[in-house]
Amino acid sequence: MDRVELVLRKYDGRPHRSVTGLLLGDDEHGTWIGTPRGSVVRFSYGASPVEHTRHDAVRLIPHDGWWMAMFLAEPSTQEVYCDVTTPAEHSPGRITVVDLDIDVTRSRPDGRVLIEDEDEFEAHRRTLGYPPEVVTRATAAATYLRDALTGADEPFGTHALTWMTRLGATPPRT
């Protein structure tokens, strides 16, 4: 499998974080990237500029959505973690998005869905100058994700299990 770097930037262009994963393939939902436990994540903030992932995961970069999703293998208590982002830009060996701060998660085993970091989105909307269209698209994406995760609409149902198996991870129990 080819390696691909997933790069997240902030709206002002500064680096946020990046992870190198394995390009698993594409389907009707988007591009799937595997990040086995121990994959290196580089941060541009905080005390530790480098960390290693604690769980196997597959990440979905949709073809045209304002989000990306990470599906985590057990024993993670997070089942799905979605970042609201600008649509992805693809270049050879790299996918880049702008992280717009709102996150939507589904926990395990209770399936609780939460929209998180709306305060951070609001603060960055002002300080980084998100245009009205970006605000509209980001809030619409958060609502879509909340509803899709709550209803387990694909690709947020069992679809990711196929990609988790392709990565070689133990799929979560359903």
Secondary structure (H, E, C), the chain = CCEEEEEEECCCCCEEEEEEEEEEEEECCEEEEEECCCCEEEECCCCCCEEECCCCEEEEEECCCCEEEEEECCCCCEEEEEEEECCCEEECCEEEEEEEEEEEEEECCCCCEEEECHHHHHHHHHHCCCCHHHHHHHHHHHHHHHHHHHHCCCCCCCCHHHHHHHHCCCCCCC
Instruction: Decide: pTM greater than 0.75.
Output: yes
pLDDT per residue as tens digits for the range 95-122: 999 999 999 999 998 999 999 999 999 9
As a whole number, the mean pLDDT across the chain is: 92
The residue among 15 and 81 whose pLDDT is bigger is 81
- Is 55 domain-assigned? yes
Q: Are 53 and 38 in contact (CB under 8 A)?
A: yes
Q: What percent of the chain has pLDDT over 70?
A: 95
Structure tokens at 54: 């604690």
- Residue 159, in any domain of the structure: yes
pLDDT surpassing 90 at residue 169:
no
How many domains are contained in the chain?
1
In the predicted model, is pLDDT for residue 48 greater than 80?
Answer: no
* 33 within some domain: yes
Task: Tell me: pLDDT of 141 over 50.
Answer: yes
Q: Is the pLDDT of residue 173 over 60?
A: no
Residue 66 — very low, low, confident or very high, per pLDDT cuts 50/70/90?
A: very high
Task: Give the range of the structural domain holding residue 98, as residue numbers without chain letter.
Answer: 3-167
User: Which pLDDT score is estimated for 170?
Assistant: 61
> Is the pLDDT at 22 greater than 80, yes or no?
yes
Q: Under 8 Å CB-to-CB from 28, ≥6 apart: which residues? A: none
Give the CATH number, domain containing residue 55. 2.40.380.10
> Over 80: is that where the pLDDT of 45 sits?
no
In a domain, 173, yes or no: no
